[in-house]
Chain A
C-alpha cells in the first residue's frame, strides 16, 4: 500500500512555504501535489513524496499537523480519452473518491492516476474485479 502525506494548513501567507522548506532541508522530493481549499480559512495539502513516512515525521517535528493517507495509483494511456476510459472502469467498480490527481510518466504514452483511498474499503479488490491492477509502490514514489 502506498501513502501520501496530508498536511493541515491555514490559508495564510507563508504557510505552504513552511512545508516546502522542511522538505528541502531533508532533501525530500515532491512527486505530485494537490491543494484542497475550504471556505473555512484552512485547507489540506496532499503530497506524494519519495519517502512519505520520513516526510510526515519531519513535518510533525516542525510543529505541523501531518498525517499519512493511503493512496492507490492506476496506470493509463497519455492520450485523449485516456482518463475517460479509466474513470468508466473505476465507476463500474463502484469506487467513489473525493480527491485524486495525475502525473504523466512517459509523454504521449503513459500516465498515473492517483486516488485518495483512505476511506475506501477493499479498493484493491474492487478495482481488480474490473480488471484494474494498482501500480507497484516503487513506481509510485518514483525511485
Chain B
C-alpha cells in the first residue's frame, strides 16, 4: 500500500473539486466570524452559500502578509481563545510577526496531512525518524513531530544543531530517516567525515526529507550522493500551517499539493490573473480545513508552477515545481515576467560557466535589454574564439527558451562577479524609464 488515505489521494478531479467547493463554503462561513473577514465580506457582499463552482474562488479578495500584520494579533481569529490550543508565529524582525492560531481540529488535521506527506515519501511506522530542525515557534519542529507520531514511526525530537550529538543519536538508535534543512546536511556530512565515519556505512539511514530552505536540484543530488539515499522535498509555510502542504512522492518529480486541504491558484503577480498550467507565477492558497484561522486567497509570494500531466504514483492532487524564488524578485523585460532563479537554473546546467551571474537591465539604443554576465571557467578556456562564440549562443538560446525573451549574454573573466554568498545583488536595473522615475510599478 503506497497511500495513507487512498480514498482522498486518488479521487477523480471531479470528486476532488466537489469536496473543495463544500469545504470552501464552510471555510468562508467560518472566516466570516473573524473581525477582519467579517467586515470585508459584508463590505464586498460575499455570501458563501452562493459558491458552487471552484472557479468562483476568483471572485474572492486576496489576503496578504501585510493584512495579517495590520490585524495582529487577533484580527483573523474566528473562535474564542478558549477553543484555541496552539499558536505559531514568525520572528517579526521586519514588522509585526505573523501569527497563526489552531484549535484542536486544526492541529489534528495538520498532523494527518503531515503523516500523509511522510507516507507519500516512503516513511513507514517501522522507521526511526530523527527530526533535526528547531522546535518552538518554528513550525518545522512540532509540525513534523505530530506527523511522525500520527504515522506511528519512532520519533527522535533532536532539534537543530550539535552535529556530534546528532550522529550519536543516529548511531545509537539506528535512525532510518532524518529531516533537516539542505544546507545543514552538507555540514553534518563534514562532521561524519571528521569523525572518520561514513553515513552510508555507519548508519541505517534509508531516506532523507529536506525543506524549509530554497535549494536547487543539483544541491539535492549532491546530498543524495553524500548520504547514499534519496532526499525528498517538503514544502510548507507557516501561514498554511507549516510543513505538510506539498510533498514529493517516490517519483521525485514535483510536490503533490494536498488539494482537499488547500485551494491552489497560480497567478501573475502583476495582473493577479491566473496563469496556465506549466507557467510560473505566484502561489496563492486558501485553507479548506482550518477552523481557528482560515485564510482566503493568501498570496504566498512564492514563485512556482503547476506541473502539467499525471503522476505515475496515481495521486490526483496536482504537483507544484520547486519554489524558484519570491514574487518580490520578479522583473519584467519586454513584457516577459522573469525570475532570477530561472536564469540561475539554466546556468547551473551549463558546465562551462560558473554559478555566479549578474543580470543588468538597461536601455540600449532606445530598447530595454536584459544583459546576463557569466564567468567562463578557467580550465575550459582554450583561446578559441569560435568555441566561446558557440557557448555564448548556447547560453543565449537556453535562457530565451526559459524566459521567452532573448538576453544579451556576456562572458566575463573568472572572479569578476561577486560571489553568491549571502544576499549578493543579482539584478541591477538601469533602464531609462526607471531613471526618469515614470516606470509604472
Contact = CB atoms under 8 A, between A and B. Distances in A.
Q: Do A and B come from one complex?
A: yes
Interface residues of A, number: 25
Contacts, number: 59
Contacts of B237: none
Contacts of B389: 38, 40
A38 B385 CA distance: 8
A67 B385 contact: no
Interface string B376-387: 101001111110
B428 to A, nearest CB: 16
A42 B414 CA distance: 13
A89 interface: no
- List the 8 closest pairs (A to B, CB-CB), nearest first: A6-B383, A65-B381, A67-B383, A67-B382, A69-B383, A41-B410, A65-B378, A63-B415
Contact of A40 (B386, B411, B415): B411
Contact of A6 (B376, B382, B410, B414): B382
Contacts of A7: 383
Given A8-B376, A38-B389, A65-B376, A44 B383 contact: yes
B381 A8 contact: yes
A119 interface: yes
Contact of B413 (A9, A40, A69, A99): A9
B385 A118 contact: no
B384 A10 contact: no
A89 to B, nearest CB: 25
Contact of A118 (B384, B410, B411, B412): B384
B413 A10 contact: yes
Contacts of A38: 385, 388-389
Interface of B: 376, 378, 381-386, 388-389, 392, 409-416
A50 interface: no
Contacts of A118: 382-384
A66 to B, nearest CB: 8
A88 interface: no
A141 B340 CA distance: 48
A63 B381 CA distance: 13
A63 B376 CA distance: 12
B377 to A, nearest CB: 8
A64 interface: yes
A42 B416 contact: no
A65 B386 contact: no
Interface string A1-13: 0000011111000
A98 interface: yes
Contacts of B385: 36, 38, 44, 98-99
A114 to B, nearest CB: 14
Most chain A CB inside 10 Å of its own CB: which residue of B382, B386, B392, B416: B382
Contact of A69 (B382, B409, B414, B416): B382
Contacts of B382: 6, 67, 69, 118
